[in-house]
Structure 1
Amino acid sequence: MLQRLVRIDVMVRMLVLAILLATFLPVTGQRLEAAYAVSNVAVFLLFFLNGIRLSRGDVARGIRHVRLLVPLALWCFGAMAAAGYGLSLLAAGLVPPLIALGLLYLGALPSTVQSATAYTSIAGGNVASSVVSAALLNILGVFVSAPIFAWLSGGAYADVNLDSLIRLFLIVLLPFGLGQMSQLRMLPWLHSHPSLIGWMDRTAISIAVYVAFSGAVEQGIWTRLDLVSWAWLLALLCLLLVVAYGGAWLLSGVLSLQRGERISFMYSGAHKSVGMGAPLALVMFPPTVAGIILVPLLVYHLLQLVVSAPIASRFNRAA
């Protein structure tokens, strides 16, 4: 399994393909509005499926595990958001303003469920804790990521007003709630079509990235970011990786968690979700802004996969 994860996985390949398509065949003008509507439908479907998959029993058990969940939520939405804010200030003058704002957006996002769980399993961590805590962080992220970003950014490009809250409800919260209510009827069908559901997830995320990045290409992202800016962005993201992994591991030790839960805490606390970040960006920002703000998240997503494999292998050997 480790060898498969070290290779470029399907989701990463689809994200790269979406970026290449947006670079050479971007959707622009009036077609961008139509693509934006298609993306909203895909995002609605994505959160509907997430609502079906997350068992209410698992949610209840995860909520009861406050000794893990509360510090993890504070780390994810408190410490990591503060780290993103600090890096965005540090990046001022080194990278374009929207890229610096993207560092703050990255810090305010929840964990990713799939990769955090997979690497927790490889490292010999507590998989059940990883699945439930990462999933609950995603639910919490729907409510808190946008307000945290709006507050720390001073409302730049994302004023969380009544209109934006209504859009968040209709495109993100409503389908998740409908999915929760449809569990008994839909869950057997979902379990009988695992590969189809996986492809639907990846396709919805890829569409969101394609639409957002098309807007970024229209705004001239490849001319805005020169080699020096890319070098600074990579350096800042590597610094964030050190803070994310090192800080989460140290905090889990301070909390005296068992080894398996410490591993779960580290991966859930360090990973950031492009599955939440890309759709949420299209809800919060205009497409022309969303694509540029997503650049730090897309690069971080690739880096976290590269870093996670050798760390998991080292934990596995130590066990």
Structure 2
Amino acid sequence: MSRPSYLPDNFTLALVTTVLIASLLPCKGEAAHVFNIVTNVAIGLLFFLHGAKLSREAVIAGATHWRLHLVVMLSTFALFPLLGLALKPVLAPLVTPELYTGILFLCALPSTVQSSIAFVAIARGNVPAAVCSASASSLLGIFVTPLLVGVLLATHHDAETNAWKSIADICLQLLVPFIAGQIARKWIGAWVDRNKGMLKYVDQGSILLVVYTAFSEAVNQGLWQQMPLPALGGLIVVSLVLLAIALGVTRFAARRLGFSKEDEITIVFCGSKKSLATGVPMAKVLFPVHAVGAIVLPLMLFHQIQLMVCAVLAQRYAKRTD
């Protein structure tokens, strides 16, 4: 018997359950360390399998799709900062001044990598272009984000100390497994092609692990204690407004510019997200220690909302008939 269309799909229910478990039973200490390792392994496996799945021609086509990448970069590093400034009369009254500073910091961050690519894969979008675009956004953000923060907040702290480490981490976690999968395609490509269904479970499993570990960290840092309830409600509204505008603008731009449905999916998911993994370390470098908690709180909440909303959107895209 099929599930009624008005009910959430199983993956969305799994996401909600994961958030509830992380709120009630967040991983701490050694358990958190183990979960981080497991999450990194799952993400590495995800990129290895995508590398083995994709032909060399598809990867080259994704890397050379410059119009798509330009739209994603403009959304990430131009649209979001402009929205943060232009909507100040609307956004600022809903939150505290410290939280609004965190919102501007969020707007300056690069796109998230793992979940963007996983959602594009679930939605049957252009995965090679998503790998290139999301990875390039993360690498570029190491240098662009501190500059944008300086412009938006007049912050002049030096973020260069972590730049090379961030690049090394990204290459180690994402590019190395992907390249290894490309090399291994010669031997396992046929087997991967016959078992494409298992990639769905790797995609979804990696997202659930990212949600649990990220939300556990947020809860452990006092997500539900650091702000009054009205400010939390205001922050949810702000996050929804920013995400809705970003999703709407990227979808509209992709269609007006004549991109295919697969490219539209990549633009929408890569151009509407912000990276928690990059944002938290950057905040520790760019801001005083006592201010970091309030600065990253909007990012942590936005991160959870974007995962939940995009999970539903990815399922809707996936159900389309070509």
Same-fold status (TM-score > 0.5): yes
Aligned length: 300
Of residues 282, 293, 301, the one that matches 1:295 is 301
Please state how far the C-alpha of 1:221 moved relative to its aligned partner. 0.8
Contact kept? 2:12, 2:311, Cα under 8 Å: no
Q: Is the contact made by 2:110 and 2:275 (CA closer than 8 Å) also made in structure 1?
A: no
* Distance in 2, Cα, partners of 1:24 & 1:158: 37
Tell me which residue corresponds to 1:55. 55
In structure 2, give the amino acid aligned to 1:219: Q
Q: Match of 2:136, as an amino acid?
A: L
Tell me which of 238, 241, 246 is aligned to 1:239: 241
Aligned partners of 2:273 and 2:202: how far apart in 1?
12
Aligned residue number for residue 73 of structure 1: 72
- In the alignment, the residues of structure 2 paired with residue 115 and residue 33 of structure 1 have an alpha-carbon distance, to the nearest angstrom, of 25
* Counterpart in the other structure of 1:138: 134
Q: Does 1:209 align with 2:211?
A: yes
- Residues 202-233 of structure 1, C-alpha deviation per residue, up to 9 Å, x if partnerless? 22222222222222211211122444233322
Residue 237 of structure 1 aligns with an amino acid whose one-letter code is S
* Residue correspondence of structure 1 range 1-319 to structure 2 within 5 A: 7-66=7-66, 68-83=67-82, 86=85, 93=96, 96=99, 100=103, 103-104=106-107, 108-109=111-112, 112-113=116-117, 115=119, 130-153=126-149, 160-249=162-251, 251-252=253-254, 255=257, 257=258, 261=259, 266-272=264-270, 277=275, 293-304=299-310
2:29 maps to amino acid? G
- The one-character-per-residue Cα deviations of 1:54-106 (angstroms, maximum 9, x if unpaired) are 3321122344444x324323334333443575489755726747963673376
Kept in 2, the 8 Å contact 1:19–1:210? The answer is yes
Alpha carbons of structure 1 residues 205 and 262: separation in structure 2 relative to 1, 3 Å: closer
After superposition, the Cα gap between the structure-2 partners of 1:235 and 1:140, relative to the gap in structure 1 and judged at 3 Å, is same
Q: Contact 1:47–1:172 (CA<8 Å) still a contact in 2?
A: yes
State how far apart, in whole Å, the 2-side matches of 1:212 and 1:305 are.
16
For 1:258-297, what per-residue CA distance to the aligned partner results, in whole angstroms no more than 9, with x for missing partners?
xxx27556543333589994666788789x9789733202
Tell me the distance in 1 between the aligned counterparts of 2:8 and 2:32: 30
Residue identity in the other structure for 1:82: P
Q: Is the 8 A contact 2:117 2:131 kept in 1?
A: yes
The offset of 1:299, in angstroms, is: 0.6
- Do 1:205 and 1:279's aligned partners in 2 also have CA atoms closer than 8 Å? no
TM-score (norm 2): 0.70
1:39–1:208 contact (8 Å) kept in structure 2? yes
Distance change (3 Å), C-alpha of 1:13 and 1:295: same
For structure 1, list consecutive stretches of 5 or more residues without a partner in the other structure.
Answer: 122-126
Give me the whole-angstrom Cα distance separating, in 1, the residues matched to 2:8 and 2:71: 28
Identity %: 22
Distance 2:216 2:172 in 1: 24
CA 1:310/1:204 → structure 2, altered by over 3 Å: closer, same or farther? Answer: closer
When residues 161 and 63 of structure 1 are mapped into structure 2, their CA distance, relative to the original with a 3 A threshold, is: closer
CA distance in 1, matches of 2:317, 2:281: 34
